[in-house]
A and B are shown apart, each in its own frame.
Chain A
């Protein structure tokens, strides 16, 4: 009897176990084989997670040997709350207060943002530095969460702001290099697809897919931060001294077209681009057109010499400073009698330049100016470049050529005016200006490297050489650009003082003062333009812009290690003069 009962017990246990196992098997079959598609999809979806692997945007580096960082992405935190449980438990004030204090926010405004019973997400603050986020985390506030994010950081602050541009809050380059090199800088985010366990933790052995991210490439500029600083500092001082409304300056390597420095004022801090007004964000050096005034005589006289219309010795009557032409009076700043072409340039005679242009004829003048790339952009690798304004000859009036010759009725950008001067310095070849030297991938591969490119040959090399000599006289005693001189070097250049057009008339009190030049004039290496908008009370290019040129050029030649191209006699003279100094 006992044996039978024991056997029965075994059978019962076995049956129960088998039934339980069978139940589990049936359930497994249902889950894996017989489950409806919708349910299976939902299950898979619940257990799967896809993560975008963020990559930092590429850096922007300057062109000096030390490749200083001008822009880089740094890790930050976005702080957000889940408002629904806070509102339900009536703890909004208890959370909003400490949170606002920690993040320097307005507590009332934050509380109103959190007071949403039907929402589960609301930003408290974006792009919070990690140290600050750690402070907030230590408060252990309920329903406060953190997510990783990236923010663009410009360690040099406002320096070079117009060239670099800025990145908007979605991480997209919206201006300057950030915009035009977006394709290289942004990189490609990666993707990770994996499964989660019952506690919503990733099951590392169940990673379905992992696509490695490709980091953004580094963009190396031609701009040198030290030269940039020199130019910015000098321009800021000039702005303050002359109470100018705005200013712009460019330093360029003559033979290649590389931009070594580009400054615009007013400027802005790209770290706080939202606070900047639109005029502050404008890259005036390439995007603001102005009537150049006397600096434009360089293009006209160079063209006339190149076409053989005049020679440096050709004499013009400058009418003692007042000339009636086509019933309109043209005046000189200082009255002159007869002047040779060389002196017309040196003394910047309006009447002399106008007569040269008239002698050329409208068609030839227009063709020559277009060859100098007036009226069309030079093709710099920055967004927002303007091409200037040069109306077609069919729309010129009887006095147009006489006014264009003195830089009125024509508009250029500072970059174009520098292009004209550097073209003369570079044996008649205008180079395409560029600010991006190369693009280097995260692995060190050079993806793109810029090379010098000639965009135009407006004059012959012989004419360019002649013009260099004539322009050197502008900074000699008696010339208008004496203050642009650099000790030991011969500087070639031209001053400009252009009346601004206010309400359709030439203003008698508002001017654009400029100086554009290059050095050493015998074998030019660097060219520079300095333009100040509405300087007061001094307003002439020779007094306002030329000193800035001289100050920066003196530092730049030392920094770049340029030697005077003059013969040993001049150098010996220079040292003799130094030795006699106390």
Chain B
């Protein structure tokens, strides 16, 4: 009777190959799910941050608009002019020229109605007379 080769004998429990394959596939799917979940989470956080940033920027725009409106207010303009020593008055009627779209002058500033032109005059200084 031939002696049994103990080295060739498969010792203990042998993990079934199909089960191992199923487990590997499941593990793969789980990893994939975890990756997707992490990515979704990251995107969600990014969306949230962008939402907050958008709201903040909108607020900043309104604040700047208010600041600008405040500076453009007639009272502020007047104060600024005063601070810079600028004296501005409304133009006289004879200083306003209104042009129509066709290039003609509108209103009272027709040539005959314009105030007479006054040129600067330098009196001749008689020397060694």
Contacts and interface: CB of A to CB of B under 8 A. Distances in A.
A2 B75 CA distance: 101
Interface string A66-83: 101110111100000000
B124 interface: no
B113 A6 contact: no
Contact of A488 (B90, B93, B114): B93
Contact of A575 (B58, B74, B108): B108
B53 to A, nearest CB: 13
B62 A73 contact: yes
B128 to A, nearest CB: 35
A571 B44 contact: no
Contact of A204 (B41, B62, B70): B41
B72 interface: yes
B73 A159 contact: yes
A538 interface: no
A39 interface: no
Contacts of B48: 202, 204
A204 B51 CA distance: 12
B47 A204 contact: yes
B11 A205 contact: no
B108 A563 contact: yes
A130 B56 CA distance: 11
Interface string B54-72: 0110110011011111101
A226 B90 CA distance: 13
Contacts of A72: 62, 65-66, 69
Contacts of A156: 69-70, 73, 75
B18 interface: no
B13 A7 contact: yes
B129 interface: no
Interface string B31-58: 0000001001101110110000001101
A7 B45 CA distance: 50
B123 interface: no
A548 B69 CA distance: 27
Given A575-B113, A575-B115, A204 B69 contact: no
B113 A568 contact: yes
Most buried by A among B67, B72, B92, B108: B108
B103 interface: no
B66 A575 contact: no
Contacts of A558: 90-91, 93, 96
B13 A229 contact: no
A571 B73 contact: no
Interface of B: 11-13, 37, 40-41, 43-45, 47-48, 55-56, 58-59, 62-63, 65-70, 72-75, 90-94, 96, 98, 107-108, 112-116
Interface residues of A, number: 42
A572 interface: yes
Contact of A75 (B37, B40, B59): B59
Contacts of B68: 69
A74 B66 contact: yes
A90 interface: no
A229 B58 CA distance: 29
Per CB-CB distance, the 6 closest pairs between chain A and chain B, nearest first, are A204-B44, A229-B74, A75-B59, A69-B69, A155-B70, A6-B12
Contact of B115 (A56, A74, A564, A579): A579
Contact of A74 (B43, B59, B96): B59
A575 B114 contact: yes
Given A74-B62, A203-B44, A225-B74, A579 B116 contact: yes
B90 to A, nearest CB: 5
Nearest to A566: B108
A205 B40 contact: yes
A36 interface: no
A159 B75 contact: yes
A232 to B, nearest CB: 9
Contacts of B108: 563-564, 568, 571, 574-575
A561 interface: yes
Contacts of B55: 75
A572 to B, nearest CB: 6
Interface in A1-35: 2-3, 6-7, 10
Nearest to B48: A204
A159 to B, nearest CB: 7
